[in-house]
Chain A
């Protein structure tokens, strides 16, 4: 079975440019999560979708960040305009939805550097 697939794996961009990160969750999973990992702040949940609907976006840093899930097999996280402080590893994760407690599976991450 394919795991959570993210693209691009690595991106280097200039400040002010738009960045789009993509995620394909595991087939059959209906919960999707975007996390950001930095040395300073550790792992932060940015947004959580269930059945393609955003459930909790309280972790989205500011209006420059937006996330969409147009269908069950695809999600995007967009940063516009990007800033150097957005440099981080962005992980997408998915799980089978349910009341609680199902294992979350992570993708390999998108390593973003904004210069």
Chain B
């Protein structure tokens, strides 16, 4: 079965610092990749997604992610974080033969200090 690993469980940054959250998956076939964000007390919202084409994907709020097929990775980045980015971030994988079923990573809690 496929799995998704987010190695950073907790990240603390100061405002304006750069962010990179790691995501690795284990699945040999073609996949679709997602990053979701969950602000405190709220539901999950889509940040960005990769289906095909340019492996560098730009999402909302200045986030981007790069799909590196050879490394089975889909890391999330933001050049300069804001206090309002404090949230939990989830990477998710959808194998191409699995309908729209997502397997989520364990999440990374980001705290941005003002």
Within 8 A of A (CB), among B61-114: 90, 94-107
Which of B51, B101, B104 is packed against the most chain A CB atoms within 10 Å? B101
Q: Contact partner of B94 among A43, A50, A101, A109, CB < 8 A?
A: A101
In the complex, the number of residue pairs spanning A and B with C-beta atoms less than 8 Å apart equals: 63
Using A91-B44, A108-B42 as known contacts, say yes or no to A101 and B96 having CB atoms under 8 A apart. yes
Measured between beta carbons, the chain B residues less than 8 angstroms from A93 are 44
Q: Would you call A98 and B106 a contact (CB within 8 A)?
A: no
Instruction: Report the Cα distance A95→B101, complex, angstroms.
Output: 10
Measured between beta carbons, the chain B residues less than 8 angstroms from A33 are 101-102
Does residue B14 face the partner (Cβ distance < 8 Å to A)? no
- Considering only CB atoms, which chain B residue lies closest to A105 in the complex? B46
Minimum C-beta distance from B31 to chain A (A) = 9
Does residue B26 face the partner (Cβ distance < 8 Å to A)? no
- Considering only CB atoms, which chain B residue lies closest to A98 in the complex? B100
Q: Would you call B103 and A99 a contact (CB within 8 A)?
A: no
Which of A33, A102, A104 is packed against the most chain B CB atoms within 10 Å? A104
* 26 A–B contacts from the bound complex (CB under 8 Å): A31-B99, A33-B101, A42-B104, A42-B105, A42-B106, A43-B44, A43-B104, A45-B101, A55-B101, A91-B44, A95-B100, A99-B99, A100-B97, A100-B98, A100-B99, A101-B51, A101-B94, A101-B100, A102-B100, A103-B46, A104-B100, A104-B102, A106-B36, A106-B43, A108-B42, A109-B43
Additional 16 contacts, C-beta under 8 A, given A42-B105, A48-B99, A106-B43: A33-B101, A42-B107, A43-B90, A43-B107, A45-B102, A50-B99, A91-B43, A98-B100, A99-B99, A100-B100, A101-B100, A103-B34, A104-B46, A106-B44, A106-B45, A108-B42
Give chain A's interface residues, CB within 8 Å of chain B.
Answer: 31, 33, 35, 42-43, 45, 48, 50, 55-56, 91, 93, 95, 97-109
Kindly list the 4 A-B residue pairs having the minimum CB-CB distance in the complex, ordered from nearest: A101-B32, A43-B104, A106-B44, A106-B43
